[in-house]
Chains A and B, each alone.
Chain A
Amino acid sequence: MSTTDDLTRDALRPPRAPGAGRPVLEIRGLAVDYGYGTRRVHALRGVDLTLHEGEVLGLAGESGCGKSTLVYAATRLLAPPGLIAAGEVLYHPEVGEPVDILRLADDELRASRWQDTALVFQGAMNSLNPVYRVGRQLTDTIAAHRPRSTRAEREERARELLRMVGISPERIRSFPHQLSGGMRQRVMIAMALALEPRVLIMDEPTTALDVVMQRQILEQIMQLRDRLGFAVVFITHDVSLLIEIADRIAIMYAGEVVEDAAADDVYRRPRHPYSVGLLHSFPPLHGPRRELGGIPGSPPDMGHLPAGCPFADRCGFVVDACRTVHPTLVSTAVPGDDPSRQVACLRHDRAALAAAGAPEVEVPAALAVR
């Protein structure tokens, strides 16, 4: 990825929030292993991804594709045996030089956390400390980052945060087990916004909730984003959901980003065979009905990845070169496409085919929908 690409892409994308366009979080060549030495498994293999200010970036893919690993590694919250093997994660502050989160000292990282990047975790049930009252868990965050605030100020802020997510401020005295699942997740969202971070990472924030609650919470997140202007990384395996809420979508497969494009482009004009398959696995929430299809086969064993494209075994458009040449993210080979969108598929990568001495192939019609 080059910086000139970024500029053109930003120029084309309609800004949705004030200050949009500048990168706020930039992941470069992030590689993560599970385990160390001979028994390690590569979970992420050099991921590049940029989040811009005020943008909603969706991360989608099947279970185990590395989408959660990506955000936890980028925030250095990945639990052992996860190990960061290479890469950099640049956070661009509002003023000043970007800092590499992976190379921060512990206390610097601690100061940056929640202040710059906050998270909402998958399990609403287990994200709250069961033995502390909700209020205490909200205020201790504020106290850690605003040591000079008074107790009364922090309590007031906690009440305000609860009110913001539609929970009665009296709940400040409740213990987590006294709240419903939906309420707990709202508390987590309130907590995430306590310091008004510029980046909010949400790892399947609504999976554990019922459908009605999912909707409510999603709408609330989107309203809050419009009001506060933070950028969102939204992880889910539900692509149809992302199409509704995301500005941009990155599709992941076997520890790599295989397609990265505007949400609308991913939905109407998917360029990667895996994206096409994924889109056909879910019914769209709105719009015309279409036939559902799955993706044949199952994701590859991350411990024994094939030499070429990891999707080759399940791909309907596979060519011989796919078995030997590993595709990288390039611009699509469909004329008229957004030049900033990227796809990791040899069907779009003439240069890689030529370099491998493979015969040139056409982009199939299914991957070139206009």
Chain B
Amino acid sequence: MSNVPVDTALEVTAAAAPIAAGPGGTARRRFVFVRNGKSVTGLVILGVFAVLAVIGPWIAPYDPSKVGVGTLLAPPSARHLLGTDHIGRDVFSQLLVGTRGVMVVGVLAAVVATLLAIAVGVTAGFLGGAGDEVLSAVSNVFLVIPALPLIILVAAAVRSTSNLTIALVLAATGWAWGARLLRAQTLSLRRRDFVEAARASGERTWRVVWFETLPNLTAIIASSFISTMTFAVLSQTTLAFIGVANVNDWSWGTVLYWAQGNQALARGAWWWFVPAGLLIAILGMALSLVNFGIDEFVNPRLRLAGLKPREMRQRGIRPRIGFTATVRDLPRRPEATR
């Protein structure tokens, strides 16, 4: 596994390169919201998981479902990096193989939900009036209805609970938040001069939406994509854990399902349930980091522009609202310039 992060780090840097390179490029302007430390860190971690999702099944040392590749419930060792489960299956392989399920469901659900959110949110924001009322009410209904019991109900009713089904159900229940955000942003955009101008000059509505509105929504769209992916990953894991999803499809939640069902806790088999949860946490944190970066881009007040908190703390300067910080040992005259 040692060489994997390096590869992905490169890949992500390469992917991010057009952002950093070439002044004035459109990509640079369009994706500036991921150009800060937090977002980049998050994206790098996401990249690692994406690569693992692709190559995981190939680099897994054992077949994750093969019984008895090691002794039963063996703690981590050189042969089994994360030990074995109650019937001697390799936990490390299960997690590696399971990465794909988590990422596929997460990304697929997020893509579908984001498309739904754009369709509903932007339309509502643009239509205004009764159409807006109806679409907003629909998204609010979906927001208020608790998703998990609904998903359980649906998953129990449908015949197959494959990853695809789970992803679609998650998308169907998880689009509303993004739609709400996009509607609000579209509403405020619609009133701005350049959109008004485009409408007034008789441009077709779809052109106005596509060329004038959507490019200005990229940050919000990205943010809602990331939020939905977080929701989907957590929900998928939960569904797998409670046994609603197919327990023979490996994912991190499935590992926890088997661990929980087979007294991993009582037997003290920490290697069985701790790593899976940590993986979810790391993925979740990576997603949060990306969103923090986007939030700071969208809401400049969250930024401490040009102020490095740690450096300032060392010098005893604390930026505060209402009591402007002064440089310690404030000189009575400015040093240079004149």
User: Count of A residues near B, CB < 8 Å?
Assistant: 34
CB contact between A36 and one of B317, B333, B334, B337 (< 8 Å): that residue: B317
Stretch at the interface among A40-48, A178-186, A225-233, A281-289: A40-48
**CB-CB < 8 A to A29: which residues of B?**
332-334
**CB-CB < 8 A to A172: which residues of B?**
none
Bound Cα distance from A111 to B117, whole angstroms: 52
**CB-CB < 8 A to A77: which residues of B?**
322, 324
Contact A84 B306 (CB under 8 A): no
Bound Cα distance from A80 to B325, whole angstroms: 8
Bound Cα distance from A337 to B332, whole angstroms: 31
Stretch at the interface among B30-38, B155-163, B307-315: B307-315
**CB-CB < 8 A to B324: which residues of A?**
72-73, 76-80, 82-84
**CB-CB < 8 A to B325: which residues of A?**
80, 83-84
Is B192 an interface residue, CB under 8 A from the partner?
A: no
Is B320 an interface residue, CB under 8 A from the partner?
A: yes
Q: B296-338 CB contact bits vs A (8 Å, 1 = yes)?
A: 0000000011111001100001011111111100111111011
**CB-CB < 8 A to A17: which residues of B?**
none
CB contact between A80 and one of B320, B332, B333, B334 (< 8 Å): that residue: B320
A361 to chain B, nearest CB (A): 21
- Which has the most chain A C-beta neighbours within 10 Å: B304, B335, B337? B337
**CB-CB < 8 A to A34: which residues of B?**
305-306
Is A88 an interface residue, CB under 8 A from the partner?
A: yes
Bound Cα distance from A83 to B332, whole angstroms: 15
A-B contacts at CB below 8 angstroms, number: 93
Bound Cα distance from A34 to B320, whole angstroms: 13
Is A39 an interface residue, CB under 8 A from the partner?
A: yes
Q: B262-278 CB contact bits vs A (8 Å, 1 = yes)?
A: 00000000000000000
Interface of A is mostly: mixed
Interface of B is mostly: loop
Contact A87 B306 (CB under 8 A): no
CB contact between A83 and one of B322, B326, B333, B334 (< 8 Å): that residue: B326
Is A19 an interface residue, CB under 8 A from the partner?
A: no
Q: Contacts A42-B337, A73-B324, A76-B324 known; A81 to B331 CB distance under 8 Å? A: no
Is A102 an interface residue, CB under 8 A from the partner?
A: yes
**CB-CB < 8 A to A35: which residues of B?**
305-307
Q: A77-107 CB contact bits vs B (8 Å, 1 = yes)?
A: 1111111111110000000000000110010
Contact residues on B (Cβ < 8 Å of other chain), bracket: 20 to 34
B284 to chain A, nearest CB (A): 30
Bound Cα distance from A14 to B304, whole angstroms: 47
Is A28 an interface residue, CB under 8 A from the partner?
A: yes
**CB-CB < 8 A to B331: which residues of A?**
85-87
A window 26-56: CB within 8 A of B: 28-29, 31, 34-37, 39-42, 45-46
**CB-CB < 8 A to B323: which residues of A?**
76, 106, 109
Bound Cα distance from A42 to B335, whole angstroms: 12
Contact A80 B338 (CB under 8 A): no
A104, closest chain B residue (CB): B323
Q: A123-158 CB contact bits vs B (8 Å, 1 = yes)?
A: 000000000000000000000000000000000000
Contact B307 A46 (CB under 8 A): no
Contact A86 B333 (CB under 8 A): yes
Contact B338 A46 (CB under 8 A): yes
Is A9 an interface residue, CB under 8 A from the partner?
A: no
**CB-CB < 8 A to A76: which residues of B?**
322-324, 326
**CB-CB < 8 A to A31: which residues of B?**
334
Contact B334 A86 (CB under 8 A): yes
**CB-CB < 8 A to A84: which residues of B?**
324-327, 330
B312, closest chain A residue (CB): A36
Bound Cα distance from A17 to B322, whole angstroms: 32
Bound Cα distance from A46 to B333, whole angstroms: 7
Bound Cα distance from A109 to B324, whole angstroms: 12
Is A328 an interface residue, CB under 8 A from the partner?
A: yes
Is A323 an interface residue, CB under 8 A from the partner?
A: no
Is A326 an interface residue, CB under 8 A from the partner?
A: yes
**CB-CB < 8 A to B333: which residues of A?**
29, 46, 86-87
- Which has the most chain A C-beta neighbours within 10 Å: B305, B306, B320, B322? B306
B window 163-210: CB within 8 A of A: none
Q: Contacts A29-B332, A29-B334, A87-B334 known; A36 to B326 CB distance under 8 Å? A: no
Q: Contacts A35-B306, A39-B306 known; A86 to B332 CB distance under 8 Å? A: yes
**CB-CB < 8 A to B334: which residues of A?**
29, 31, 45-46, 85-87
Bound Cα distance from A8 to B306, whole angstroms: 44
A32 to chain B, nearest CB (A): 8
CB contact between A81 and one of B304, B332, B338 (< 8 Å): that residue: B304
Contact B338 A45 (CB under 8 A): yes
A window 156-206: CB within 8 A of B: none
Contact A37 B338 (CB under 8 A): no
B325, closest chain A residue (CB): A83
Bound Cα distance from A80 to B322, whole angstroms: 9
Contact A80 B330 (CB under 8 A): no
A47, closest chain B residue (CB): B334
- Which has the most chain B C-beta neighbours within 10 Å: A36, A72, A77, A86? A36
Bound Cα distance from A328 to B333, whole angstroms: 14
Bound Cα distance from A86 to B326, whole angstroms: 8
9 smallest beta-carbon distances between A and B, as pairs:
A35-B306, A80-B319, A31-B334, A46-B334, A78-B324, A86-B334, A84-B326, A29-B333, A39-B306
Q: A35-B307, A46-B338 are in contact. List 13 more A-B contacts (CB 8 A).
A: A29-B332, A37-B308, A39-B306, A46-B333, A77-B322, A80-B304, A81-B304, A81-B319, A86-B327, A87-B331, A88-B330, A109-B323, A326-B338
Q: Mind listing 23 A-B residue pairs with CB under 8 Å?
A: A31-B334, A35-B305, A35-B307, A36-B311, A36-B317, A39-B306, A46-B334, A46-B337, A76-B326, A77-B322, A77-B324, A79-B321, A80-B320, A80-B321, A83-B324, A83-B325, A84-B325, A86-B333, A86-B334, A87-B331, A87-B333, A103-B330, A106-B323
